[in-house]
Amino acid sequence: MARVAIVLVVVGLTVYALTDCIGSEESERNGIPRGLWILMIVILPVLGPVAWLITSRNGRARPAARRGPVAPDDDPDFLWRLRQEERRRKQDGTDASDDAE
């Protein structure tokens, strides 16, 4: 029973690594061609899939942290332009409520 479980785990790991490798992007393979990864995964039953999983996880892009404002009112340039527009309206004698109509 234990031997069957070990074989199933190895086969499952191999199948998972193969499907993950086939659907991977070039940046996740760290310069190694897809065909060579597939060959390593199949020929080296445990070492190949484990090497693929470790290598591909390190190569996957992490979500980039947002740089810059999330909303327009967080954007300093937007707020500056808004203040400039408000000053121009005051100088011209127009009111913001006139634009709403």
pTM: 0.56
Nearest to 14 by CA among 36, 60, 47: 47
pLDDT for residue 77 is more than 90:
no
Measure the CA–CA gap between 24 and 30, rounded to whole angstroms.
11
Regarding predicted confidence, which is higher, 22 or 99?
22
pLDDT higher for 10 or 65?
10
Delimit the domains of the chain by residue range: 2-59
pLDDT tier for residue 99 given thresholds of 50, 70 and 90? low
Q: Looking at residue 26, what DSSP letter applies?
A: G
